[in-house]
Structure 1
């Protein structure tokens, strides 16, 4: 079998590679990466590492050639046009390369009325795949829980969660749990009969409920005092990401990031790690 993982040195991609290597021989795994040197540790385990530039279709085709299963993790671009262009190159390459099955990372912010900057891309993914000749599975992630860990000291200093969410709630999944689900779907053809899964923990959190969890983990009181969307964009505009981040919470305030499903249990046979357990295991007091 030939398993291909793209974006294999990114936050999610690298964890998918490690999870997949627990299920199949490393020599069955091929990695498509922008900078092969960053994948040296994987290469030393026996994995094939090939250069991949989503803007150059021939490199994508070369990486995907005759793959039995491809796990596609999009690049970290901030606009839907760039990602759709990239995805079109991946679709065309997958068809030319005779890929057996394509697994695509999705996100719960894919509704037609979602104001998130990247919702157009995530909404495009299932429609474009449905129009292709490919066998595919979409794994829609909830919000990653992981960024809450480095963010906690700032929340302690502010004494408040400041997400502009109103009374709405957010759903989470950890990178490790998401990666484990991607790997399990990749090696389990029976799971391909369902075209889309939504990976979440077993509950979502209003901001007061999230603040209560963070307070317990931090051992200090954290409340909820939301700022405006424009203020949030200004506060977190490093790398020009402010508008994108604010647009995500604009979606959240409309209840569009609150999905909870049992799909993770269907895939893994047990629930995803809860948010309190994840934070307790990863926060150093």
Structure 2
């Protein structure tokens, strides 16, 4: 058996490779990188590397040759639908038997703009006839890094999420779940709604109070105010601060209020509690 992980130099891919090599022999694992320069660290860590980009169908077909199972980490670039089509076309042409794809909560019915590319990709995979699991990931707790670090610094927990809820979880554990899916050693459904317990920002702030021992002024405001606050207090550049604030508006919309499936069943252990996850990332 051979398994290929795309996006292997990114955070999710790095975590997935680390988890995967605990499940299958490392010589069965291949990592996809965009260049030899980016591949260097992967090779140092003992992984076989294939070079390809989502924009180059020929390179993808060459990389997918003799690969059985694919962990397809979605592109983060704007206009990614053609890229995703290249990946699925190459997988179909080279006879890949299974795809685990990192998608978005209830992608096929969600009205969130973020769901559109994922719904498109899920449809391509369905039409390809390739066996699959759509890993519909909720929200990484890491996405709230600016909000949380600025709260710890200033005593103000400020957000634009209203009463919306999200199923925050650790990127590491979402990637471990993906590794288990693509390993072929466990039974996974064709669709898995991945996430932690649904919480509001106020509940997230309360969990942070418990693990930090600090009390926060809890401020609900608009995205522009959040962005400026993060630029001033979390040392975030404007683009990053704007992204965080706009992400909070997605939470406010209700798009992430998707009840997770049985994470313990598929992860093989309980998902870290919100308090433990906060400790791991932010409490030193």
Q: TM-score when scaled to structure 1? A: 0.88
Measured after TM superposition, the shift of residue 199 of structure 1 is 1.4
The aligned counterpart of 1:122 is 118
Is there any run of 5+ residues in structure 2 with no aligned partner, and where? none
**Quick check: 1:26–1:45 contact (8 Å CA) kept in 2?**
no
Summarize the alignment of residues 26-175 of structure 1 with structure 2, pairs less than 5 Å apart: 26-77=26-77, 79=78, 82-108=79-105, 110=107, 112=109, 114-116=111-113, 118-149=114-145, 151-175=147-171
Match of 1:220 in 2: 214
Distance 1:160 1:170, change over 3 A: farther
Which residue number corresponds to residue 280 of structure 2? 281
State the Cα distance separating 1:30 from its structure 2 match: 0.9
Q: Kindly tell me: are residues 133 and 262 of structure 1, through their superposed partners in 2, closer, same or farther at Cα, counting changes over 3 Å?
A: closer
Deviates more, 1:247-256 or 1:167-176: 247-256
Alpha-carbon distance change, 90 to 18 in structure 1, aligned in 2, over 3 angstroms: same
- Work out the CA distance in 2 between the residues paired with 1:95 and 1:233: 43
Give 3-state SS (helix, strand or coil) of 1:216's partner.
Answer: helix
Measure the CA separation in 2 of the matches of 1:15 and 1:241.
23
8 Å Cα contact 1:100/1:135 also seen in 2: yes
Partner in structure 1 of residue 192 of structure 2: 197
Shift of 1:246: 4.2
User: Structure 2 length normalisation: TM-score?
Assistant: 0.88
Q: CA RMSD in A?
A: 2.4
Contact 1:84 1:121 survives alignment (8 Å): yes
Aligned counterparts of 2:108 and 2:94: Cα–Cα separation in 1: 31
Residue in 1 aligned with 2:256?
Answer: 257
List per-residue Cα deviations over 1:142-187 (Å, max 9, x = no partner): 1111344565331223433322121222211211111111111112
Pair 1:19–1:267, CA change in 2 (3 A): same
Size of the aligned set, in residue pairs, is 279
